[in-house]
Structure 1
């Protein structure tokens, strides 16, 4: 017969009953009272009856109490399985996801969970399910996001230099009117046509939702400009993107500038933007973006917002239908000045 373990000597029955009255943990209270009975000379069988358990469980309570005191009688969460990925694997996984796959060696142009599972097996010999790997990626702050387009011939240095020196440069660009308040405007065009885009949508898991998709090729252009600091915009829907359309848009922007103010208009270097045939209004000064730098222009994000919410997943009957929907979408944007500000404001551009 196994000899009973002696209780530690720095506690007594009165001490344990006092702790039991103060405890808010029912399980700890029951265990404290059972051990208090042992201190008073009760048998282990009697202590097991008080605790409502078997003798072996009482023996475990005594061992935990002797090792950790009353705190050892509190239920603890089971440690569970050890994580499948160690710190080294987690760091390497994040680096691989952020760098993206190399098509020539990985055989894919974007990572899927099944590709990353295979990569983990090849790199570290770690077998992990797609569900587990997905949870690990989300736990590390990674999400599936839409990629921002980037010109393959883009030189990043001019872009960073433009952002770094931008606030002084746009103020210098309007130096001919130093006493007038300045407004910072951004301009761009978007083509909207019958061969329309399809966006993500909510659907029951395991299904493949459908969306209408036209194969015809009639289109129109939205000429849009925004002033994020003031939450306003000026736009036109035109049949072509050319100098005449740009001239009409400049007239629209000029009318939207506050009386007595001067607008610095940031735009890309498309031919109809830089044409010498343009008659630029007196209250507008051009400031061209570096070549191949669409991500510097927040109007690109305006187009994405309008397509995802109002223009995609549609079939347009004809040109007039395209124009009507484009005008409706633009007017909805005008009705949300705070949206224009939240999407279009760039701290690096305004120097704050």
Structure 2
């Protein structure tokens, strides 16, 4: 109405294009304003229609289950067994995907022996340890790193592929069991990183990588606190830990607490669905992906 009265719009069609709504909608608003005035136009109306296929209490129960990381697979089956609600797939899809923005995802493996309480408490414990280190050694520059190892091999890494509608994607298998281990250190605060390649994973190799790391970062005024998992490689009794390095172990069976896991996932995603002629070709591709990070 304002656009038409002020001359900013010369017609209802022009006003609808300016507002981004259809001509039919703008015409309905104008007619309602003429009949009921501004108050009638702004009144909130609840439309009719059929009752929801899934009752409100069942929707509440379903939403609560969707909020749990474990989730579930067959929603229609779950509703029938847990809520005695039998609906077709499209009724569930409307609420599940379109309204609640939930979708089917590939789950991250979680070990049955993981301690959820320890995982939840870890960030606060880590923060307290770092503050304590700064308080105990105020003259040192404390640097916090995360460390992990990942294996890259000639057996292809399969990931999802995009194809046209009705075209199933295919993967080319290659059962060749040769690989290389990448040892990585990343400083979350700065993004600085250090990587070392070895043909195997054991505490002797880790000791050599640790020595190379301390040669690279040999400033006597720096203390390096390294977060890592509790594998035997990192806890070997004869492992030589440099004097400017301290380990901080996160709870067992909880790799999600290590930010470097996201880097491994990124690298493997970029190297996925490809066949490698030999380890040299794989190493070249891996180095090419690491150069922008270093």
Normalization by structure 1: what TM-score?
0.65
Measured against aligned partners, the alpha-carbon deviations of 1:222-270 in whole angstroms (never above 9, x if no partner) come to 1111101011111112100012321232134324548332210011122
Q: 1:195 to 1:22 in 2, by over 3 A?
A: same
Work out whether residues 110 and 254 of structure 2, in 8 Å CA contact, stay in contact via their aligned partners in 1. yes
Q: CA deviation at 1:159?
A: 2.5
Change (3 A) 1:327 1:73: closer
Instruction: State the match for 1:116 in structure 2.
Output: 75
Q: Does 1:91 align with 2:60?
A: yes
The question of whether the paired residues in 2 share the 8 Å contact of 1:237 and 1:327 is answered with no
Structure 1 residues 277 and 145: CA distance shift in structure 2, 3 A: same
Tell me what 1:157 maps to: 117
Post-superposition Cα deviations, 1:112-139, rounded to whole Å, max 9, x if no partner, equal 4xx2123334534342333x42331232
Instruction: State yes or no: 1:298 paired with 2:259.
Output: yes
Partner of 1:8: none
Task: Give the Å deviation of 1:272.
Answer: 2.0
Larger radius of gyration: 1
Q: How does 1:233-252 map to 2 (within 5 A)?
A: 233-252=193-212
SS for the counterpart of 2:75 is helix
1: CA distance, partners of 2:12 / 2:287: 67
Tell me whether 1:199 sits opposite 2:128 in the alignment.
Answer: no
Indicate conservation of the 8 Å contact 2:54/2:85, yes or no: no
Instruction: Show the 5 A alignment for 1:99-138.
Output: 99=68, 111-112=72-73, 115-122=74-81, 123-130=83-90, 132-138=91-97
Question: After TM superposition, where is structure 1 displaced by more than 6 Å over at least 4 residues in a row?
Answer: 70-74
Q: Against the structure 1 CA distance between its residues 78 and 207, is the aligned structure 2 distance closer, same or farther, given a 3 Å change threshold? A: farther
**Is 239-248 or 89-98 further displaced after alignment?**
89-98
SS in 1 for 2:293: helix
SS at match of 2:158: coil
Distance 1:313 1:283 in 2: 41
- Give the number of aligned pairs: 267
Q: For 2:223 and 2:139, how far apart are their aligned partners in 1?
A: 10
Describe how 1:120-269 pairs up with structure 2 within 5 A. Answer: 120-122=79-81, 123-130=83-90, 132-138=91-97, 139-172=99-132, 177-257=137-217, 259=219, 260-269=221-230
Q: Give yes or no for contact 1:227–1:233 (8 Å, CA) kept in 2.
A: yes
Inter-partner Cα distance in structure 1 for 2:119 and 2:217: 27
Tell me the TM-score normalized by structure 2.
Answer: 0.76
Deviation at 1:307, TM superposition (A): 0.9
Unmatched tracts of structure 2, length 5 or more: 14-30
| SS at 2:291 equivalent | helix
154-163 or 264-273, larger mean C-alpha shift:
154-163
